[in-house]
């Protein structure tokens, strides 16, 4: 079925579907590593690209292909590539678009490993990187050098929930001939479509909202044009970061309810953010749906909803943070986001515990900072859980 003109929710269900011999209602799992050719000519035609079909699962597979086509339609891109993890998507982008002597400009508060791998492995191969506050457009312009090839953005970025104006940042980058990559994990294509705003590649950790059930790890890239797509595809095939057919099946199953899940989690997030903003033990709350959010207007313009991630600062610092962690009962103490379970995390004692206090503060990880990722439980239960735990501080 041609799904191009259907609405977003219909695309979630039907885009990328193909008809199989038995009329299967859902995309079947082609759990095979290789595909037999009919004869020598068929094999030759497949390898030469004269005929469409499948050769070997690292290169392509019907189940994975269905997911890639669905994601490409959701992001309004040319084509998609599914990968083993979000980080496989990140490293594939770097590997495909950067060479020795090149330079990349990134959001400073980018996902930790996305920065770490540039500073360790890619630095080793002679790739330079700069990390700047990309919410300030002049910082982007200042950081671009003659050897800069890629602008890598994450918006909203963690834990500051700072937004980047994708449209304006892309205009600046394109003026200098750069390729713009946006990590769209925190929004999903339901809330933000970077390619429509001028970016060249949308990147996802499928682990989060897209799969949505905290039961697999996966990643994806969607390119706006054929040239960039071909570079990315070739790199994925060479580096071997491909997705597995079973993993693809799980994501296809999970993504179908994405808009319902996000609608519910967002509705609850707004109520929780308002509750926290009025709580005497809370110093501040950052959530793009609050009028007090510093980039409220940009959020309204660029995103179709404020998402389901809240950052807040407790007045009691480190100890208040650990007390809250030790007393919540419904929220799981866990990293990640975008699943149906509500997750809570205290970066100073958990994800960023390995850093010195100075390094933590430089990354805006204050002692009382809490990251809250809303699930889809009853909001009354989520608030009651926070309320009883906050009372223990």
Q: Which is nearer to ligand PLP, 62 or 306 (CB)?
A: 306
CB 156 within 8 A of CB 178: no
Is the bond preceding residue 156 a cis peptide, omega within 30 degrees? yes
Task: Compute the distance between CA of residue 212 and CA of residue 233 in angstroms, rounded to an integer.
Answer: 25
Q: In what order do the strands lie in the sheet with 309-314?
A: 282-286, 309-314, 369-373, 343-345, 332-333
Q: Which is nearer to ligand PLP, 30 or 186 (CB)?
A: 186
Q: Which is nearer to ligand PLP, 55 or 340 (CB)?
A: 340
CB 306 within 8 A of CB 270: yes
C-alpha distances (whole Å) from 31 to each of 11, 206, 240, 242 are 25, 20, 17, 14
The answer to whether residue 208 is catalytic is yes
Q: Does 86 bind ligand PLP (CB under 6 A)?
A: yes
Q: Which is nearer to ligand PLP, 84 or 389 (CB)?
A: 84
Tell which residue, 184, 222, 112, has the closest CA to residue 338.
184
Q: How far is the CB of 316 from ligand PLP (least distance, A)?
A: 27
Query: Which x/- pattern over 246-285 shows residues binding ligand PLP (rule: CB under 6 A)?
Result: ----------------------------------------
Provide the 8-state DSSP code for 180. Answer: E
Provide the 8-state DSSP code for 120. Answer: I
Provide the 8-state DSSP code for 90. Answer: H
Sign of the torsion formed by the C-alpha atoms of 260, 266, 267 and 272: positive
Q: How far is the CB of 184 from ligand PLP (least distance, A)?
A: 9
Q: Does 207 bind ligand PLP (CB under 6 A)?
A: yes
Sign of the torsion formed by the C-alpha atoms of 138, 143, 146 and 152: negative
Nearest residue to ligand PLP, using CB? 86
Q: Quick one: how many helices (H) and strands (E) in the chain?
A: 16, 12
Task: Compute the distance between CA of residue 108 and CA of residue 153 in angstroms, rounded to an integer.
Answer: 9
Q: Which is nearer to ligand PLP, 68 or 183 (CB)?
A: 183
Place of tokens 């379970």: 341
26-85 positions binding ligand PLP, by CB under 6 A:
85
Place of tokens 């095979």: 32
The answer to whether residue 58 is catalytic is yes
Sign of the torsion formed by the C-alpha atoms of 22, 260, 31 and 245: positive
Q: Which is nearer to ligand PLP, 111 or 312 (CB)?
A: 111
Query: Which x/- pattern over 350-369 shows residues binding ligand PLP (rule: CB under 6 A)?
Result: --------------------
Task: Compute the distance between CA of residue 173 and CA of residue 193 in angstroms, rounded to an integer.
Answer: 18
Task: Compute the distance between CA of residue 375 and CA of residue 356 in angstroms, rounded to an integer.
Answer: 31
Q: How far is the CB of 243 from ligand PLP (least distance, A)?
A: 11
How many Å from the N-terminal Cα to the C-terminal Cα in the chain?
A: 56
The answer to whether residue 190 is catalytic is no
Catalytic position from the list 65, 165, 183, 200 = 183
The span of 12-20, 36-44, 61-69, 178-186 binding ligand PLP (CB under 6 A) equals: 178-186
CB 132 within 8 A of CB 139: yes
Catalytic position from the list 111, 152, 229, 249 = 111
Q: Is 52 exposed, middle or buried (0-12, 13-18, 19+ CB in 10 A)?
A: exposed
The answer to whether residue 142 is catalytic is no
Q: Does 135 bind ligand PLP (CB under 6 A)?
A: no
Q: Does 310 bind ligand PLP (CB under 6 A)?
A: no
Catalytic position from the list 9, 17, 56, 58 = 58
Task: Compute the distance between CA of residue 199 and CA of residue 204 in angstroms, rounded to an integer.
Answer: 14
Count residues binding ligand PLP (CB under 6 A): 14
Catalytic position from the list 208, 224, 264, 360 = 208
Q: Which is nearer to ligand PLP, 112 or 126 (CB)?
A: 112
The span of 33-41, 71-79, 182-190, 314-322 binding ligand PLP (CB under 6 A) equals: 182-190
Residue of 63, 185, 188, 302 that binds ligand PLP (CB under 6 A) = 185
Q: Does 208 bind ligand PLP (CB under 6 A)?
A: yes
Q: Does 219 bind ligand PLP (CB under 6 A)?
A: yes
Q: How far is the CB of 88 from ligand PLP (least distance, A)?
A: 7
By the criterion CB under 6 A, which residues form the site for ligand PLP?
85-87, 111, 114, 154, 183, 185-186, 205, 207-208, 217, 219
Instruction: Report the catalytic residues.
Output: 58, 111, 183, 208
């Amino acid at each position: 079925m041609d799904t191009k003109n259907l609405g977003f929710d219909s695309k979630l269900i039907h885009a990328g579907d193909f008809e199989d011999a038995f009329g299967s209602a859902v995309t079947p799992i082609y759990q095979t590593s290789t595909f037999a050719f009919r004869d020598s000519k068929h094999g030759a035609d497949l390898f030469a690209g004269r005929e469409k079909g499948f050769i070997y699962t690292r290169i392509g597979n019907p189940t994975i292909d269905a997911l890639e086509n669905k994601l490409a339609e959701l992001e309004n891109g040319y084509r998609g590539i599914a990968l083993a993890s979000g980080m496989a998507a990140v490293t594939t982008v770097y590997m495909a678009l950067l060479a020795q002597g090149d330079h990349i400009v990134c959001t400073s508060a980018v996902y930790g490993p996305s920065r770490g791998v540039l500073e360790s492995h890619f630095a080793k191969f002679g790739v330079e990187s700069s990390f700047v506050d990309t919410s300030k457009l002049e910082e982007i312009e200042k950081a671009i050098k003659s050897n800069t090839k890629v602008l890598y953005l994450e918006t909203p970025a963690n834990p500051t929930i700072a937004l980047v104006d994708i449209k304006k940042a892309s205009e600046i980058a394109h003026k200098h001939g750069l390729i713009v990559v946006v990590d769209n994990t925190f929004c999903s294509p339901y809330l933000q479509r970077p390619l429509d705003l001028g970016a060249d590649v949308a990147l996802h950790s499928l682990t989060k909202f897209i799969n949505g059930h905290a039961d697999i790890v996966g990643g994806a890239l969607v390119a706006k044009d054929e040239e960039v797509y071909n570079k990315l595809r070739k790199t994925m095939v060479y580096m071997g970061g491909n997705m597995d057919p079973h993993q693809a099946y799980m994501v296809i199953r999970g993504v179908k309810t994405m808009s319902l899940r996000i609608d519910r989690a967002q509705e609850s997030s707004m109520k929780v953010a308002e509750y926290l903003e009025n709580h005497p033990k809370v110093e501040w709350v950052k959530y793009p749906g609050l009028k007090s959010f510093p980039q409220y207007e940009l959020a309204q313009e660029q995103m179709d909803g404020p998402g389901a991630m809240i950052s807040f600062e407790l007045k009691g610092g480190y100890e208040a943070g650990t007390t809250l962690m030790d007393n919540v009962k419904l929220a799981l103490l866990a990293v990640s986001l975008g699943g149906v379970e509500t997750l809570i995390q205290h970066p100073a004692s958990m994800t960023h515990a390995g850093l010195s206090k100075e390094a933590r503060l430089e990354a805006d990880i204050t002692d009382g900072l809490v990251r809250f990722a809303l699930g889809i439980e009853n909001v009354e239960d989520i608030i009651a859980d926070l309320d009883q735990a906050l009372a223990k501080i």
